[in-house]
Amino acid sequence: MNSIEKKLEILYPKNSKFLYENIKKLIKKYALNNIKKEKFNEKDTILITYGDSIKKENEAPLKTLYKFLNEYIKNSINTVHLLPFFPYSSDDGFSVIDYKKVNPELGNWEDIKILSENYKLMFDAVINHISAKSLWFEEFLKGNKKFENYFIEVEDSKDLSKVFRPRALPLLNEYKTSNRIKKIWTTFSKDQIDLNYKNEKVFIEILEILMLYVKNGAKLIRFDAIGFLWKEIGTNCIHHPNTHLFIQLLREILEKIGDCKIVTETNVPHQDNVSYFGNGYNEAHMVYNFTLPPLVLYSFLSQNSKYITRWAKELEYKSNETTFFNFLASHDGIGLMPVKGILNSEEIKKMVLNTLENEGLVSYKNNADGTKEPYEMNINYFDALYEKDIELEENIKKFLGAYSIAIALKGIPGIYIHSLLGSRNWNEGVKITKINRSINREKLNYDTLRLELNEENSLRHKVFYGMIKMLKIRNNNKEFSPLAEQEILEINDKVFAIKRGNFFILHNFTNESIKLNLSKYFKLGINLINDEKTKNEFKIKPYEYMWIKGEL
């Protein structure tokens, strides 16, 4: 019995042999020719964007995106994470109606193919749940026997008190079927119906969809909210052992059809998050570094580097096949669960109050004891760091300094489109949608954006080209490979220092100049941010970030 068969035997003991034969047929159908396995390298950077974050009148948004990429970032960023581009009914794409279609409002599969020929693509697999408007759920409601076990019906007598809740919403919702009212499991909302993975038919359906993604150009697949996938009443229904086994099974199968890497999205405390690396060779290739966004923000708020230095020194890199996805902002907010156990409740409260002061919003979750607590700060990352008492230039320096950490830290940087473009809070969007996360999901006009990017004194220009400068340094030096060594230096409790080979990336979290002595490491160096030579004793200015190449 091979490894795939053993996993099937555990997950689906009654039908494992039948499933294995089906899987072999699917592998034969979808396997790509000349599979070449690539390792992560220093040129890997991921742009996170919706298919329609940038729009142009009378043009398919995916075509506009392609035009923007080629004009502005082709030589700096090699990978694009396309947030869900399928037909959907809510949650800006994360309630998928049809997994196999491209939303016609964005473009078509041909547009995806053209993008994939010039950039590595990350597709979203929103497979914990499906839209209530999907054919699968509509047929379930009609009583179609094929779909009767595709979803999770729960009887009133069941005790669900242990179930972890990521939202302040009901876990079960009622739906009228052909013969009665049924209570169905909905982790995230009434429109997002959880799939029942105890049903092997669901597994095969989803497996073929993932294979279709690989065939259509996916080099990475992001498993959205994957921690909730396997439910067992009586447990907390998050990080179930079978969820890990399921991911391992998918990895093993997908590796037989192409070179596609798995990225897990689990917005949870750090130790739970990194468990998705498995043994370093059998589960996720890349894990979202969810602790980084709130920890970088807190370091600037407290003007202290002790927490981030201690945490970064302890980061464990499992193997030469795995790494962290180092991001600060995304289409979602800044999660607070990942810093539980690192920051105390007062320190978390400080960030929450800062968010509200800077015109952001806060989202809450239900706890098992009936209380609520903040789980996410909804604010543009530039505004999260923004200080009203300092000049815009200093705020830009702070923001770029924060991103310097994500770009230099061992792993692969993920840069959200609105961070790359120096966007601000879109409060108007929240008023329109009544959804907190809209604050960071504005749609930009392509022609207006070009004018702003080309205006040298604009915020967008300064942020964009500041980012591109760091990315080009990273791309051209193997020391920044996710597989290269890293050392976190303890040189000052106000400065965060990363050593990559003979590169020293320094970040001043304070509004004061600080004297530093790096004579232990080099005699002379050059700060590649401003191309100025530096001695090994120098001052780092308020909020300054430096990329020093030392001459040993």
The token pair that represents 339 in the structure block: 């810093």
- How high is the mean pLDDT of the chain? 97
Arithmetic mean of pLDDT, 395-415: 99
User: Does residue 266 sit within a domain?
Assistant: no
179 pLDDT tier (thresholds 50, 70, 90): confident
Arithmetic mean of pLDDT, 403-408: 99
58 pLDDT tier (thresholds 50, 70, 90): very high
User: Is pLDDT at 41 greater than 90 in this prediction?
Assistant: yes
167 pLDDT tier (thresholds 50, 70, 90): confident
Who contacts 387 (Cβ-Cβ below 8 Å, separation ≥6)? 394, 395, 398
**446-485 pLDDT, tens per residue?**
999 999 999 999 999 999 999 999 999 999 999 999 999 9
- Angstrom CA distances, 388 to 230, 354, 359, stand at 46, 12, 12
Residue stretches of the annotated binding site: 91, 129, 222-224, 331-332, 437
User: Does residue 462 sit within a domain?
Assistant: no
8 A C-beta contact, residue 336 and residue 354: no
User: Is pLDDT at 169 greater than 80 in this prediction?
Assistant: yes
Arithmetic mean of pLDDT, 2-7: 97
The token pair that represents 215 in the structure block: 């065939």
**74-107 pLDDT, tens per residue?**
999 999 999 999 999 999 999 999 999 999 999 9
Long-range pairs of 512-518 with CB within 8 A, sequence gap ≥ 24: 512/542, 513/539, 513/540, 513/541, 513/542, 514/539, 514/540, 515/539, 516/491, 516/492, 516/540, 517/491, 518/491, 518/548, 518/550
**493-535 pLDDT, tens per residue?**
999 999 999 999 999 999 999 999 999 999 999 999 999 999 9
**Which of 57, 59, 68, 165 lies closest to 118 in space, CA to CA?**
68
Predicted local distance difference test score (pLDDT) of residue 370 = 85
Return the CATH number at 521: 2.60.40.1180
Predicted local distance difference test score (pLDDT) of residue 157 = 78
pLDDT above 90 covers a percentage of the chain that reads 95
Query: What is the rounded CA–CA span in Å between residue 488 and residue 505?
Result: 10
**Which of 78, 68, 65 lies closest to 111 in space, CA to CA?**
65
**370-393 pLDDT, tens per residue?**
889 999 999 999 999 999 999 999
19 pLDDT tier (thresholds 50, 70, 90): very high
User: Does residue 500 sit within a domain?
Assistant: yes
Q: Which residues participate in catalysis according to the annotation?
A: 224
Number of C-alpha atoms within 13 angstroms, CB side, residue 150?
25
Residue 446 CB coordination number (10 Å): 17
**225-268 pLDDT, tens per residue?**
999 999 999 999 999 999 999 999 999 999 999 999 999 999 99
What b-and-e string marks burial along 373-410, b requiring 16 or more CB atoms within 10 Å of the CB? ebbbbbbbbbbbbbeeeeeeebbbbbbbbbbbbbbbbb
User: Does residue 101 sit within a domain?
Assistant: no
Residue stretches of the annotated binding site for substrate: 91, 129, 222-224, 331-332, 437
User: Does residue 429 sit within a domain?
Assistant: no
User: Does residue 256 sit within a domain?
Assistant: no
User: Does residue 513 sit within a domain?
Assistant: yes
pLDDT above 70 covers a percentage of the chain that reads 100
224 pLDDT tier (thresholds 50, 70, 90): very high
**276-325 pLDDT, tens per residue?**
999 999 999 999 999 999 999 999 999 999 999 999 999 999 999 999 99
Domain that holds residue 503: 487-551
User: Does residue 516 sit within a domain?
Assistant: yes
Counted domains in the chain: 1
413 pLDDT tier (thresholds 50, 70, 90): very high
Predicted local distance difference test score (pLDDT) of residue 278 = 98
The token pair that represents 364 in the structure block: 């809450």
